[in-house]
Structure 1
């Protein structure tokens, strides 16, 4: 009879020889390495794609923001120049001044629309409202020797500029000055005088206190030196701290007076807004003017929709 018994399993047949095991392990290591390499490459590709998409999106946002700001600056700058040009021209009355500004904004809208249409955008500027005031001008030599009120009961002043002849300025003791008097918030005096080494000097004092120098500049042989009170500049240099912050957006009306001005050669100009009504009360010359305007601005492209209302009052002090 044949032998059908089962013997013990053959280890070499089941597990292979030692050389065969090493080969299998090497193959497993190779496959694992390939899997890890593919995973790393995939991760790098996804990361680069994410960074690229974010950069492109960011550049698009910054570009759109910059374009919107450019359109806004164009509209505000054009409207401001229009307001000042209208006031300098001496309109017959406030209605005439407002209509001139309205017509001018319509023309500005056409120019801006055409300009940005060529760049693929749709822009529109529309006048919403105007606020009346007075443009005040005077030769200082014609001002009362003691004091004259430039404006009474106003709540906004812009473009307040003194053009002074350096050779006509007094010393500090008898200095010409502007008095800004808020009945509930005190007063500020802005002095302009012949200071050290003949420099044109601007100083301030509060509530009648002694002046503190803010800035000075040599006359440099000039016939006129500009002191921009609301713009806080002396000539072409900044002169911070001239205009009191309490009068940027005051809670109560204030008066503006010129003191010791009659001996000074030069001119004063300002545009002021009364608390009520259209005309500013003054001892000097006043003309109808537009103090401010509000415009609606809309701008649209394939990537951007922008709309805002902007108050335009050129030469007004910043808060």
Structure 2
């Protein structure tokens, strides 16, 4: 018998309404859940971006300041060394460098440090060195008057940097020599030697191309070779370039460890100028070099390197480091 209760229709409508409300509630909860998941995902992505960028939370400020300070200190060291003469001793050069760095930092600090942050530099420590220079074109023979055109410029226990050679004339010619022919060729070459390996950079004039050539070899094989199509090239061994262009043969001592001697072989077969800085102040008194004004090559006091303690404090970061200043290290 059919249900004729007056409440049956009402109850059916109420059941349908409850189910509808349940569906709406379920949909709303699902939407809220999706929103929460989206917010969480965006938070994770944002946090990762902060971690990589750093600067948005102040982390980039000490890094930027440190990099700027390093570049400025290197430029100041180069300038002070270049302007040094026989009247400047190591203490005077170190004092000049400290004054210049502090002056630069005080001016720059007001632009790179945010409000409420704090930074400082302190305890500048310098390593004394000597600058070996030949500033007038001539052969690369030593100043000791010895007839031997082969001589040691830097000992194995010493370190060198800022090594630049300017070539004005090459005496020895060759015709695309291989490694064995280079070994017997009387061309000028720079010899870097460690306990177990050698690296030689030969400079000669190639008869076929009419160009000068820089060829690097390891005693048995040619490592790299660069044709030089200009008469007065500048070889920067610290930057691995020839007249500003990258040159694999100018990658100094590429097959050696950090400790090696540097010698000139057949130094009467080239003419030009050169300079390098060595961390051995005793070379100022070596018979191989003249004093300032005494002819080439000569040696003057210089700063080999410097260490600067750097500290930065901000609301969200504390940073400390020791900045190493040694421009043109080989």
Deviation at 1:312, TM superposition (A): 1.3
Matches within 5 A, 1:60-75: 60-61=50-51, 62=53, 63=55, 64-75=58-69
Q: Which deviates more from structure 2 when the two are superposed, residues 53-62 or residues 305-314?
A: 53-62
Distance 2:48 2:315 in 1: 16
Aligned partner of 2:258 in structure 1 is: 249
Q: Which of these residues, 29, 38, 53, is aligned with residue 48 of structure 1? A: 38
Q: Alignment partner for residue 110 of structure 1, among 96, 103, 106?
A: 106
Report what 1:305 is aligned to.
318
Alignment pair present for 1:79 and 2:73: yes
1:133 is aligned to 129
**Structure with max Cα Rg:** 1
The two structures, once aligned, show a CA RMSD in angstroms of: 2.9
Q: Deviations over 1:31-70 (max 9, x none)?
A: 2221122112212332333244344444444124433322
1:88 to 58, 82, 93: 82
* Alignment: residue pair count: 295
1:24 to 1:71, Cα distance in 2 relative to 1, 3 A = same
Distance in 1 (CA, whole Å) between partners of 2:216 and 2:98 is 39
Given that residues 121 and 309 in structure 2 are in contact (C-alpha distance below 8 angstroms), is that contact kept between their aligned partners in structure 1? yes
State the distance in 2 between where 1:36 and 1:214 align: 75
The TM-score, its normalising length taken from structure 2, stands at: 0.77
- Check conservation: 1:179, 1:189, Cα contact below 8 A: yes
Q: Which runs of 5+ in 1 are unaligned?
A: 1-9
Distance 2:66 2:116 in 1: 17
Selected match of 2:274 from 268, 280, 283 = 268
- Equivalence for 1:188: 199
Give the superposition deviation at 1:286. Answer: 1.3
Could you tell me the TM-score, scaled by structure 1's length?
0.80
Distance 1:169 1:20 in 2: 115
Of the three residues 123, 126, 129, the one matched with 2:119 is 123
The 1-side partners of 2:324 and 2:257 are apart by: 15
Aligned mate of 1:168, from 170, 174, 177? 170
CA spacing shift, 1:264–1:206, aligned 2, 3 Å? same
3-state DSSP of counterpart to 2:315: coil
Who is 1:295 aligned against? 308
